[in-house]
Amino acid sequence: MDRAFSDRHGYRGAEPDISIREDAPDFLRFQVASIAEKCDLRPSEIRSIVCNVLLEVPDPRNWSEYPNVWDEVLGLLQHCDWYKVYDIAEAIWRSLDRRPDQQTRFGSELNRGFREKGIGWELKHPDGIVFRGGQTFKVATEEAVATFAKSGRYTAAGEIREALEDISRRPEPDRTGAIQHSMAALECVARDLSNAPNMNLGQLINGLALTPPLGDALHKLWGYASQNGRHVQEGRDASAAEAELVVSVACSIAVFLLNRSV
């Protein structure tokens, strides 16, 4: 039995708030290699993957698995750019696709580290490492995609997937794109429900019969998104928290409109 005591007995502490996004702390750099080793990859196999990602040449003087090759792997991970650590983790995970048990184990262990250390990323099949928001963000986006797909609104579902892809980009997330795509999803739903395919969301809001002051709030959200997702000004890029909020709210309103129409 290789499950930890806390896993066997169901002990869970409260997850810390997300405090790390555009960084790869030392513990994560070590854990990427350590988890790969637990998944039965030899240091030389890990080194091959790491070197391929970093466009480096394995040191021919290091031929013994321990400590030479292992130390080389740790050194490469320690000194590379932060976002390359996530690229390496993805590459290791994908290299295990013919060993599904080990691939699952790698993903589970990596995600546990992300959660317990407050890192705002998660490894999801089949996408790889994607943006991890707070619980509200997770619930809102997953429910929106599922609701859109279930009702046959695949364009809206695709817009949310594009928003998640934009916000997950490394090394620089496209928060402007995430805002734009999430509002486009909401606009798709509003157009469909209003039978007005040529109107924009700003023109449609008054006809959505939202209880005051919800309509006013949506007008303001539309104005913010237009300013920060469509007509961007130099030096006014949205923060991670703002992008997460807009995507979450857009998803929640779109789902509300659809559920209300049933």
Structure confidence by residue, pLDDT tens digits, 125-173: 999 999 999 889 999 999 999 999 999 999 999 999 999 999 999 999 9
Q: What is the mean pLDDT of residues 73-87?
A: 98
- pLDDT tier for residue 1 given thresholds of 50, 70 and 90: very low
CA distance 183 to 189: 10
65 contacts: CB under 8 Å, gap ≥ 6 = 42, 43, 44
- Give 164-170 contacts, CB < 8 A, sequence gap 24+: 164/130, 164/131, 164/247, 165/130, 167/131, 167/240, 167/243, 167/244, 167/247, 168/121, 168/129, 168/130, 168/131, 170/83, 170/86, 170/87
Please give the model's pTM, rounded to 2 decimal places: 0.86
Question: What integer pLDDT is reported at residue 237 of this predicted model?
Answer: 74
Contact between 170 and 83 under an 8 Å Cβ cutoff? The reply is yes
Give me 50's structure tokens: 């790491």
Structure confidence by residue, pLDDT tens digits, 9-40: 888 788 899 999 999 999 999 999 999 999 99
Q: Residue 131's CB: how many other CB atoms inside 10 A?
A: 26
